[in-house]
Every structure is written in structure tokens, then in C-alpha cells.
Structure 1
Amino acid sequence: MRQIVPSAWKTKLRHFLLDFDARIDSTLFSSGVGLRELWERYSTFMDRFYVGRWKRWVFIEPLSEMATIGLGGLVLMLALAQPAFRETADDDWLKKSDLAVTFLDRYGNPIGSRGIKHNDSIPLEDFPDNLIKATLATEDRRFYDHFGIDVAGTARALVTNAQAGGVRQGGSSITQQLAKNLFLSNERTIERKVNEAFLAIWLETRLTKNEILKLYLDRAYMGGGTFGVDGAAHFYFNKSARDVNLAESAMLAGLFKAPTKYAPHINLPAARARANQVLDNLVDAGFMTEGQVFGARRNPATAVDRREEVSPNYYLDWAFDEMRRLVETFPKSYTERVFVVRTAIDMNVQRAAEAAIENQPRQFGRDYHATQAATVVSDLDGGVRAMVGGRDYGASQFNRAVDAMRQPGSSFKPYVYTTALLNGFKPTSIVVDGPVCIGNWCPQNYGHSYSGAVTLTQAITHSINVVPVKLSIALGGKSPNPAKAGRAKIVEVARRFGITAPLLDTPSLPIGSAEVSVLEHAVAYVTFPNKGKSVTPHAVLEVRTGAGDSVWRFDRDGKKPLQAIPASVAADMAGMMSHVVSEGTARRAALDGIPTAGKTGTTNAYRDAWFVGYTGNFTCAVWYGNDDYSSTNRLTGGAMPAQTWHDIMVAAHQGVEIKEIPGIGAGTKLPATAAAANVASSAPDAKPGPPPILTRRGADILVRVEKLLDEAGKTAGTTSSSEPAKPRASSALAFPDSFASATPEAPLAVATPTAPSPRKK
């Protein structure tokens, strides 16, 4: 056989690979030998320093552990410090100021201001000595001794708070508070406290103690929309900070802790009590004697009475937040920080809204056990004409119109019916009001009764619960889970209207279980009178610099309306919703001579009561409930919310050209049916009157009625003893208006089985 000889190139390749492998092996072996020799030399050298027995465990091991832990702590601190140091990346951090915004109403009249307007014109040495001492004694007694963090003071505060079982003493130094004011927010988180500590140390390396104290006095928030002690002195006492006496200094120093709580123009007794604590601090710190503060205790400071200077604070807070977001869209090269902003607010409507939100709960809030309310009025381009975020801004700055998320109840149903109209249903389409279940959830109508075949118009008029749920199933078509698919369509339509709330997908979503805000709900309803166009809620109409140069205008630069639904569908919905006001659950909201439509809403256990309605000019949403989500006393959307809406909208339409709503005209009556009458009598929103508790004023009216009837009977008995006495028609008609003013609705039933019998005088 012939021997096969491998080719030359294969032989060369094999030899090359063998050579390369040998070189690697040799290099590794040589490196190992060299490293072993180096290690032996190092070990021999270190053996000279060997410490054994007790000396090792007393000295060497603790030092080694400390070095290891210290190195790890240093790495951890550097990692934690990175977010804080990023806040100082701007080289102009000291000169850079927050926005200073002066707000005007829609007609150009000043209504308030927000933001920091720095006044650094008073040198530290010109501040009164008693003001400096009061501030240091109360906020940071060891200010000139610590490095930015008062370790001893923080430890003392922790012990005091632990013993008291709550926050009784603050541990932040003045430097830490300044760091928070300059760079951070007020959120109470561990991350913010860590950043605050690092920034405090950083400030101490950049500024002197006097510079830090001066910045703190100039830039701390002092309540009443003022920043800095000089601005606060002018606001509260009508004088410069240079001229305040000891009593006034103590009151100003007391504001640093909680400026809203201790603001003297809101709560003078609390401000004086806090000032007395500051005087105690002066004595405890050794800055003054009891004799020196005695005069200030006997003659406490009196602030300027500013109760008549009513400012739409909830509106201004929201407008300022909008302005801050708007400034972020300006070019990066734009450095202006002082602006004059014309807003959409109408102060006549705002005052009417504030009065209505105050008057209705004052009269009937106790009976209904409803302690809070909120309302928003919007025009048809989304400009908010009025906003009330609660009954008392001084007591709570939480804006329930913007930040509170509450279940809308039946006021959510218009989005469901709109979706149905978009998918082939008509206002006259028939749906059977009967039992239905989704899984193990079976919705019920109020009164646990059903009315059989009803039209969509009748269903929304009398707030039937079963029909929207059946519609959600029908909207799902032939999908594997029709109820879920139908709800997805409803959510998509609500998004087109402008609802951005999460809208959690649950079987009860069609009857209003998903939470929304009052602001979004009010402006979403603009889509109906606006021929199907959705708009964006906004406060800012025009932005100008302090010099008067125009920077931004909503009509030119703002978000344009979007065609959310066809105009024909919006008109059909307006026609359906007009019956809610004319003969449904919101009859108290009807406006004389003004086309009106809307929807009431009452949630489970009566936790929330709504009325959201509109005319051809405005929309308005009114909410009543409690901050702790406790139940009201059977308060429905057709009671206080509808009446409040009526009172606000009457004022809003004064001197305004009344516009018709497409699809309503003068309005028409629904055909009276037995089924609809049955639903109307049992629906929760069809009972808009007060709970079955007779008010004191109502009892007095009943007493007057009884006396008049007695007198009429005696008169009739004298004139004709054979003819039974009859009350005169004029007497019977003289009291409905008086009685109506004493109750949320004007029922003419003077006596009811649940009403207590009035005592005779």
C-alpha cells in the first residue's frame, strides 16, 4: 500500500502550535516561580513586625477591623453623597433664586403672589440683637460650635422624641435647614435627610457662619406667602425687620418651625403661645434673663389684621405649580426668574364658589356628617375660572380639588354611555334592567329593585346601576372576556376626555369605582358642550417678565383642543344628561332660563357625593365628603352638591351672554312610565333632601305654622261655629320659601313620621 504523506503546510502549523504551547507553559512556570520568590521575600520582611499574644488582640486586630470598616464606610458615604453633590453642580447656586410670580386675574387685577422674592439688602449686623438671639435660642443654640450637624443636639432631640412618643423637638441645625431651603424639598424621607446632612457639611466648607445665618434669615418661609424675616416683618407688623421689638422678634422666630400653623394673621393665640416658648428658650439658653423677657410676656405682639385680604390660595398654589412646569419648557438660555402671570380666574365666580362651599356645610354639614368639600369651575377652553380645595386653607393647605383622588360614583356613567353611543347604541336604545353578574359580583340598584326595559336616556336620568354594567359587557362583543374588553373601551374613551387618573380595571368601574380628581372630572365634562372637543385644564393665560415683555400665551402656545368624540355623540349625550337636571336626580341644580345638563354621583356607604354639570358657558364639579373616608349621613349628589353647584353657577352667569348647549335646545320631557317612576323613587340620587333630622330652624318654622293654624282655627270658629275651620290659601303659601331656605331642598311636606313633634311655646 502507498503511504499517505501529510502536506507541508499542515506540518508547519503543527510545529507552530507546539512551539506556542511550550512558550505559554514556560512563561507560566517562570511567573509562578517568580511570584513564589516574591511572596517568600515579603513574608520574611513582614515577620520582623510580627506581634503575638495579648498585644495582637489588644492593638493590631482592633486597628485592622477599624481600618476595614472605615474604608467600607468611606465608600458608602461617597455613594450616598453623590445625589447631594449633584444638587450643587450649578456654579451659580448661590445667586440662583426660585421663581417669583405675581398673579393677576383674567381682567388684569393683582390677586396674590407665590415664590421667593429675595431681599438681601439688610446686612446681618443691622438685624436687632434680640431677633438673632431668639432665632439661635429656638433653632440652633450651638450654631457657632458645630460643623454643620449638631451631633449633641440631634441626640438630645432623639431622646426627647422617644420619651414623648412623637416629634417634640427638631434635630436639624440651621445649616441643615438652609441646605433644605436651597436645594431640597420638604418631603420627609430618609434620602432627603441624608442629602441634607451632606449638603450642610458642604455649605460649612463654602460659607462662613455669619453668611449661613444671613441666608437662613433671608430665605426661610415665614407664612403668608412671605420669605425671609424682613418680608415677614412687613407683612405681619408693617415695619422693617430692623425695627421689631423683643415680643415681635419672638413671634417671628417662632414661625420657622411651622409658619402656617403659627402665622399670627391666621391663629394669633397659637402665635402668641409659640412666642412665649421662644422667650422661654432665650432664658434657658442663657441669652437673656427672666427680667429682660418679662415685658415681652406682658405685652405680646399684635399682628396686622389681614382677615379681609382674602386670597384664592388653593388656586394660586395650583397656578404656581403649573408655572414651574411651564418654565421648564423655556429655552435653557433663559435666565429670567421674576414673572407676572395673568390667570383664567374670575374673582366674582371664585368668591361665589368660596361662599357656597362655606355656607352649605355650615347649614347642613353637621346633619349630613360632611366636613369637607371642593369645587372647580371651568370655561369651555379649559381655563379654570374658580377653584376651592377645601373649607379652610389656614387649617389645611391640601388641595382636594387637585390632589385628592375620590370615587366619582354615578358621575362616571356619562363616559360609559358615550362609549355605548360610539359603538352603535342610541339614546332610545332599550336595555333590560335586570339581574346581572360578573364572576361573583352582582351589582344592585338602590332599593334592590329592577325596572325592566328602559331606554339609555331613562337609565342615566334615574341613575340605574345595572344598565352601565350590562353596557360594558355588550361593548366587549365576542371577545373571550367581554366585560373586560368593554371596560377597556370605556377607559380609552375617558382618556380621550382628558382623564389621566389610573382608572383601575375592576368589574365595578362602569358605575364609578375608579378614583378621579375634581379638576380632571370637571374639565373632562367640557367635551360635551364643546362639540366633542376635549381641552386641557390650565390656569395660566399669559406670562410676562417683570419688565412687561410677553413670554408665553395660552392662545398661541398652549395645547390645542382635540376632537375626542363626534359632535353628534356629544349632542346626544347633552340631550340625555339634560333630563337628569329637569326630571332626574339633580333637579335642585336647574337654572332658570339656562340650558343645563349634568350627572350626580353617590358612592358606596355614602363616602362621596358629587354633582358635575355644565351649561353652554361653563362646567362645574362639586364634591362633598370627609378626609378620613368616613361615611356621610346618607348625603347624595342631588342634595348639597347640586345646590352648591346651582349657587355657584347662578353667580357665574351674571352678566354673561347665555349660550345654548348643542343637543339640548329648550329641553324636552321624557315620557312618564311606571318603570321610570319606580326607579326614580328608589334611586339614591333621587332623594336630594336632608337626612330625616329636623333642624332647629325647621322646628321653629313648624312651631310658627302650628301657631298660625291655631289662630286661623280660632278665627274661623268665631265667625261660624257650624263650619269647620280651614287654613287660608295665603297662609299655606307663605311658608315654603322660608322652609326651603332652612333645608338643602324645598320639600313642602311640613311634617314627616320621622320628624320630632315641635314643642309649643
Structure 2
Amino acid sequence: MASDPHSEEDGAKPRPKQRYRIRRFFLSIDALVDTGLWRAWSVIRRSWEIYDGFLRRFRAKGIWRALAELSSDALTYGVIGIVIVLAFAQPAFEATRYADWKTTDDFAVTFLDRFGKEIGRRGIVLNDSVPLEEIPDSLVKATLATEDRRFFLHFGIDFVGTFRAMVENARAGGVVQGGSTLTQQLAKNLFLTNERSLSRKIKEAYLALWLEANLSKQEILKLYLDRAYMGGGVFGVTAAAEFYFNKNVRELTLAESAMLAGLYKAPTKYAPHINLPAARARANEVLTNMVQADLLTEGQVIGARRNPALAVDRSQEQLPEYFLDWALDEVKKLARRNPALARDRIVTVRTTLDPALQRQADQAVSSVLRENGKLRDANSAALVAMIPDGAVVAMVGGSNYGESQFNRAVNALRQPGSSFKPFVYMTAFMNGYSADSIVPDRPFCLGNWCPRNYTRSYRGAVTLKLALTKSINTIPVRLAQAFGREKIIETAYAMGLTHELENSVSLPIGSSEVSVIDMASSYSTFANGGYKAKSYAILDVVNSDGEVLYHREKDEPPAKRVLPEDKVFEMNDILVNVVEAGTGRRARIDGVVAGGKTGTTNAYRDAWFVGYTGNFTGAVWFGNDDFTSTRRVTGGSLPAMAWQRFMAYAHNGIELVSMPGVDAENLPRLASPARQPLAATNVVAIQPRVLNRRTQALLLEIGEELRELSGQQDTANLPGTTSTDLAAAQ
């Protein structure tokens, strides 16, 4: 029987009728797409013809044409500007993603120095016990009149107030009014730093809008009053009322409210416990602002003018503000990996700070700036000093904490110049070179870039020791070409640099930016013989119940060796020669072996000296906050002078630790067997900076004996205690 061609056994292929339907289906889809595209194109073409016809009929002339073109250009560039500004502002919104952004700084920390004496407090515990309704009306009015008179009228950014401030500043020929609203200032206090930059202002503006959208005006005002820095290490008007007037904030008078409101602008400059006349003058300006803002009449403020506020006498020594800010950040970092500390927010922290060294660091930097700053066009500086294991004993983050809380020692990034070269030479030593290796110093170029020496001259064939001593620029660039810049970056990271280094041809002569504290940590690797010295501030953390939550000696691993000992010895010999016979001669200390390296960047924008002894390492930077050039300030001038003044004091009366790999007897200046550590000119040693181990052990034994004796005396004085009982106890 013949098989049916359309039977189901042969049904692998569709029947003719099915194939016809499938073809019709796909043809209909194709027709639909073609028709849709044709109609869409017709609509677009017709719309364009209508638009073109309108433009042909539109003939603006004269002033109207100019206005139309200006408006068109303004709209175009405005949209582009908004997109660019929004892109810059995106990182700022990362901080708002945390649900507890209002309480990110809720640690209450009491800081002690290395000897156990209180040096300050940090942290903000949000306190709602004094609601906004109970804060004196005079303080609220003084704040608004001084900081933001249109606070309840704007939406976070006050264009009217900004324009008025620009006019007043132009009229006065300087900055006499600020354009930031109270909301913008709160955004800075909550999420940003005090860095003066365009990107920060952009972030601040967007965050101000975000705060206005998420909080009421009353909530913003209350947060501002709680979070504003008021000088003296205190934050918020409640703490400031207690600190300056020993009063509850509810009890403030008009004169006291005006004095507190005057602190927002410059807390340290106008702090009444530091400069009472300046504080009273500023309070008088606040009273005038209240009258001009129609919040009070002249008759209502006359009593406050005649009877200005009198602050509590707190003439104690200046607090190490920059160090305390950094130490608080270190406590927060520690809390992220210490569950016990993360749970207990009220703690006492013993730090590495030495108060005497901190005072000398402040004095060394301020005196050099005072004597040379105006003459050399340098207005800012930073210093970090540490023991070679990384324990920071002194920190100067700027010339005036009241004017700027931005910590230039920790947060600022600057080009190190030639002070970066030891990383290059250490990499060379670990790749077959030695201090006696010969490398030619002669002109050469890499593409369009030709490195030149500071003297614009060349020495021919030189040893690496001479090249680093004289800070020749061509040699480190040649070395980097020989073994690769990647190895230099690897060495720098291993020694302690933490910020990203740009792998550019100018990297070997210090074009990539670093921080002052990282440079001090890295050079400490030379001072301690090759071990990594990560900077740290915390020795012990104890909670409110006396329980030890952290003890560095027990909870941290031992230091890791990162450099070969023999190569460190070789580097130390060269860097000591830099101080003795090279660019760092101003850093010499009588009776002390010191090594270090100067650094100066293009156009004299940054000047560095990073140096060390067997006892301490110090990094010093001088320059300007706005990146303008100084008047030929080099690393061997102001930075070396400040370093020397600090180190000469620090080494008075202490047990000197030898420099690894350096024999002091081979140095002509220090070869005398009878040499003693001498004081710098006009500097008198008050106390040893670091006690040796035998002295520490002896003092601990004496302390234990005194505590036991005190306990026995207390027992003897108890009612009913007899001499027999005391003898039995003994």
C-alpha cells in the first residue's frame, strides 16, 4: 500500500496549509514593522518641517535677538554644568545611606597622654534632655542673626544671602560675610571635612538640599546647635555653656548667648578662656547683628553691652586638637574590628601623646612660621613625630585649629619631591645595586619629558651615595628605567605609604602625592632597622566599668620585617650623610646622629624634611593651603629648621638609641669620646622625653609600694582597727 505523503509518520515537516499560515504570520509582522517605521518617520519629518517653518517665520532683531541667544546658551551650558556638578556630588551621598547617620560620632571618649594624664575629650553623644524649646530664645536669635538670618525662608541654599555677601565683600575689599547657610554648615559638620576646595562646596550644597528635604527646620536648627564646634574641645551649645560659664544652657543670659554665638566663626580665636577681649568684641558684633536683623531693639541689648559676659577661668595649656581628632578616628576604626568596643561607647583611651613634645612641636612650627612665613610667602605647615615603632608622640595639623580644623598632617595629600627618593634607592639596593654603584648623571629624555637637576648642571659618573646626598634628579629616573617603577611602588607600599601612587615617569622624583603621617611611618622603617612601623595613637582602651577592652601590646601582632637589614644599614649611612654633608645640614643636632632627606616640588609649592634618629622620626611640611608657590622655600630651609628645633629638645636628657648600621665614632662631628647630648640654643630640658626600661621598672615598683602603704594606712584608720589587726594583716 502506498504511503500517504501527509501521514503523521512523516510529520517531521509541516503541512502545506501550516507553512502557508506561518508565512502569512511573518509577512504581517514585517508589514507592521515597515508601516510603523514609515509612519514614525513621517511624523518626525512633518514635525521638523513645522519647526523649521516656525523658525523661518521667527525673526528676532536687536535686543530681543541678543536675549534669545544668551538664553539659549545659558540653558545649554546650565544643563551641562548641572550634570557635571551632580557627578562631583555623588560621593557625598554615600554618607547618607547609613540609617544612623545622625549618630555616627556617638563615642564619648576621654583621652589620656602616655603618662595617664587627661589631655582632652572627644565624641558627641546626642542629648535630647534640652530640647529646642528650652534653649534660651536669646541664644537662638543670636545664632540666626549671626549665621543665617533667612534660615526659615530658604531651602538650604540662600541665593539672596550669597549675593548680598558677595556685594559686601566686594565693597569691603575682603571677606567680611560668608555665603554658607546654616544648613550648609550643618552638612559640613555631619558629613564633610573643613577642606577648602570647590568639590567640597559642591558636596556641601547638595547635602544641604538633602537635609532640607529630610528634616524640618526645627530639627536642622537643633542638630546645628548640638554639633557646632565651640572651641576648648567641646561641641554644641549645651557643653559650651557648662565649659565656659559653668551653667546649664537654660540659664544663659543675653550677654552669654551673644558670646557663644560669636564662637561659630572662629572657635579658638574668639574662645573667652583664651582671649576674653576678643570674645567680648565679637559678642558685641553679635548684639549688633541681632539689632540689624530686627530680632531685638537697641534698648534690649544695651544692658548686655554694658555688662559683658565673664567666662570661667580655664587658662590650662592648649589642647592637642589635631591629635585628638585623629585619635578619635583611630578609636572608630578600632571599634569596627573590636566587638566589645563597638558595644561600649563611653571609654577612656590612653594614647601615645607626650605633652611636652607636643608643646615643643607646636612651638617649633609656630615660631618658624612667625619668623619666616610672611617673608617667604608660606602660611601653613604640618608635623608628625613618632617613636620608630609608629607611636605618634606629637602632631601639628595646621597653624591655627580655630581657623581650620582640617588636619594637614593626616588628610592633606602633597607631592613629596626629593623626599620620595629613598624609596627609589632602597628598591635599587634590593635589585643588585649598592651605595658605591656608578650611574651617569647627564641629560636625557623620556618622550617629551627631560628631568633636570636643581642646579641645572650635571656631575657625570657618580656613586648612588653621592647622588642621594646631593639630591640629583636624573639618577633615580635612570634607576627606575632600569628595574621598573612598579617595584618602587611595591617598596613604598611595603614601607608604609597608603595612598595610591601614580605610575608616571616623574614618580621617582616625587610627583605622586602622599601624607605627612605616611612619610613619617615609612622613614621609621629605616630608624628601626627594617620593620614596618604603622602609625598608631592608642595604647589602652578602658570602658566605664574599668574593663580593659583593648591593650596594644597584647592585641596587636609583632612588627613585620619589610626591608633587609643590610640594605637598611646602607641607606642609613647615606641619609646620615645627607644631614652631615648634603641638603639637610640645617637639621643637625649637637651630639645626636640624625638622618633624613629634604624635598622641594615644582614652583616651590611644597617643602619637606623627613628625618629620624634612633629615638624618634619626624616629618615636616611647609607650604600654602591654596597650592600657591612660596618664595623659594626648600626642604632644607624652613622644614629642616622646624625639625631641628623639635628634635634638639626631644633628645635632651634621654638615653640615646644608636642608629641601625651607623657608627657615630666614624662621623667627624661626633667622634669625641666625651660627647654628650647638648641642648639647642635657648632650650632647657625640663624632663626626659622617653624613660629607659630600668627607670620605668623602678617607677612601677615605687608605685606598687606606695599603693600598698596607702592601703595599710587606710586600714589602720578604720574604726575598731587595732595594732594587732594591722600586724596580722602584714
TM-score (norm 1): 0.69
Structure-2 separation of matches of 1:188 and 1:631: 22
How far did residue 573 of structure 1 move? 1.0
- Give the 3 Å change call, closer, same or farther, for CA 380–150 of structure 1 in structure 2: same
Structure-1 separation of matches of 2:639 and 2:274: 28
How far did residue 256 of structure 1 move? 4.8
| Residue number in structure 1 paired with 2:8 | 8
| Residue number in structure 1 paired with 2:520 | 522
1:450 corresponds, among 442, 448, 458, to 458
| Residue number in structure 1 paired with 2:164 | 160
**1:328 aligns to 2:336 (yes or no):** yes
- Report how many aligned residue pairs link the two structures: 605
**1:18 aligns to 2:22 (yes or no):** no
2:597 corresponds, among 571, 592, 599, to 599
Cα deviations by residue, 1:113-139 (Å, 9 ceiling, x for unpaired): 122144544466654453354446556
| Residue number in structure 1 paired with 2:675 | none
| Residue number in structure 2 paired with 1:249 | 257
Greater Cα shift, 520-529 or 159-168: 159-168
Residues 250-329 of structure 1 aligned to structure 2 (within 5 Å): 250-256=258-264, 259=267, 262-265=270-273, 271-283=279-291, 287-304=295-312, 306=314, 308-329=316-337
**1:509 aligns to 2:507 (yes or no):** yes
Structure-2 separation of matches of 1:201 and 1:440: 52
Residues 131-150 of structure 1 aligned to structure 2 (within 5 Å): 131-135=139-143, 150=154
Structure-2 separation of matches of 1:461 and 1:155: 56
**1:436 aligns to 2:436 (yes or no):** no
Structure-2 separation of matches of 1:151 and 1:624: 40
- Give the 3 Å change call, closer, same or farther, for CA 152–594 of structure 1 in structure 2: closer
Greater Cα shift, 13-22 or 600-609: 13-22
**1:544 aligns to 2:542 (yes or no):** yes
Greater Cα shift, 97-106 or 506-515: 506-515
User: Residue type of the partner of 1:344?
Assistant: T
Per the alignment, in what secondary structure is the counterpart of residue 374 of structure 1? strand
8 A Cα contact 1:97 1:337, kept in partner: no
8 A Cα contact 1:84 1:196, kept in partner: no
| Residue number in structure 2 paired with 1:231 | 239
Structure-2 separation of matches of 1:279 and 1:6: 104
User: Residue type of the partner of 2:244?
Assistant: Y
8 A Cα contact 1:120 1:218, kept in partner: no
| Residue number in structure 2 paired with 1:639 | 637
Cα deviations by residue, 1:224-259 (Å, 9 ceiling, x for unpaired): 322232311222233332332211112223445665
**1:116 aligns to 2:124 (yes or no):** yes
- Give the 3 Å change call, closer, same or farther, for CA 334–438 of structure 1 in structure 2: closer
- Give the 3 Å change call, closer, same or farther, for CA 438–558 of structure 1 in structure 2: same
How far did residue 177 of structure 1 move? 7.3
Structure-1 separation of matches of 2:398 and 2:189: 27
Residues 642-661 of structure 1 aligned to structure 2 (within 5 Å): 642-661=640-659
User: Residue type of the partner of 2:618?
Assistant: C
Structure-1 separation of matches of 2:93 and 2:571: 53
Cα deviations by residue, 1:274-329 (Å, 9 ceiling, x for unpaired): 53344345445655432121121233334445454311112112222222233233
Cα deviations by residue, 1:170-191 (Å, 9 ceiling, x for unpaired): 68578x9778867888895556
How far did residue 660 of structure 1 move? 1.6
Structure-1 separation of matches of 2:275 and 2:9: 100
- Give the 3 Å change call, closer, same or farther, for CA 581–181 of structure 1 in structure 2: closer
Structure-1 separation of matches of 2:141 and 2:459: 76
Residues 538-577 of structure 1 aligned to structure 2 (within 5 Å): 538-558=536-556, 560-577=558-575
1:582 corresponds, among 577, 580, 583, to 580
Structure-2 separation of matches of 1:152 and 1:86: 18
Structure-1 separation of matches of 2:643 and 2:521: 15
How far did residue 421 of structure 1 move? 0.8
- Give the 3 Å change call, closer, same or farther, for CA 230–665 of structure 1 in structure 2: same
Unpaired runs of 5+ residues, structure 2, are 33-88, 669-677, 683-730
Greater Cα shift, 111-120 or 628-637: 628-637
Structure-1 separation of matches of 2:651 and 2:259: 45
8 A Cα contact 1:535 1:560, kept in partner: no
Q: Which has more radius of gyration?
A: 1
Structure-2 separation of matches of 1:215 and 1:462: 55
8 A Cα contact 2:192 2:200, kept in partner: no
Per the alignment, in what secondary structure is the counterpart of residue 666 of structure 2? coil
2:385 corresponds, among 359, 365, 377, to 377
Per the alignment, in what secondary structure is the counterpart of residue 652 of structure 2? coil
Cα deviations by residue, 1:146-199 (Å, 9 ceiling, x for unpaired): 7xx75699565356357557895768578x977886788889555655554455
- Give the 3 Å change call, closer, same or farther, for CA 210–398 of structure 1 in structure 2: closer
Cα deviations by residue, 1:537-577 (Å, 9 ceiling, x for unpaired): 12122222233222223333346533222111111111222
Structure-2 separation of matches of 1:153 and 1:466: 52
User: Residue type of the partner of 1:9?
Assistant: E
Per the alignment, in what secondary structure is the counterpart of residue 400 of structure 1? coil
TM-score (norm 2): 0.71
Structure-2 separation of matches of 1:238 and 1:608: 44
8 A Cα contact 1:150 1:173, kept in partner: no
Over the aligned positions, Cα root-mean-square deviation in angstroms equals 4.3
- Give the 3 Å change call, closer, same or farther, for CA 663–99 of structure 1 in structure 2: same
How far did residue 502 of structure 1 move? 3.2
- Give the 3 Å change call, closer, same or farther, for CA 267–568 of structure 1 in structure 2: same
8 A Cα contact 1:408 1:516, kept in partner: yes
1:393 corresponds, among 367, 391, 401, to 401
8 A Cα contact 1:356 1:644, kept in partner: yes
Structure-2 separation of matches of 1:418 and 1:217: 52
| Residue number in structure 2 paired with 1:76 | none
How far did residue 525 of structure 1 move? 0.6
Per the alignment, in what secondary structure is the counterpart of residue 527 of structure 2? coil
- Give the 3 Å change call, closer, same or farther, for CA 532–245 of structure 1 in structure 2: same
8 A Cα contact 1:536 1:559, kept in partner: no
Per the alignment, in what secondary structure is the counterpart of residue 14 of structure 1? coil
Residues 70-81 of structure 1 aligned to structure 2 (within 5 Å): none
Structure-2 separation of matches of 1:564 and 1:612: 19
**1:624 aligns to 2:622 (yes or no):** yes
User: Residue type of the partner of 2:9?
Assistant: W
**1:348 aligns to 2:362 (yes or no):** no
| Residue number in structure 2 paired with 1:487 | 485
How far did residue 492 of structure 1 move? 1.9
How far did residue 216 of structure 1 move? 5.5
Unpaired runs of 5+ residues, structure 1, are 33-79, 477-485, 671-736, 742-761
8 A Cα contact 2:233 2:321, kept in partner: no
Structure-2 separation of matches of 1:452 and 1:191: 52
Structure-2 separation of matches of 1:491 and 1:280: 58
8 A Cα contact 2:418 2:598, kept in partner: yes
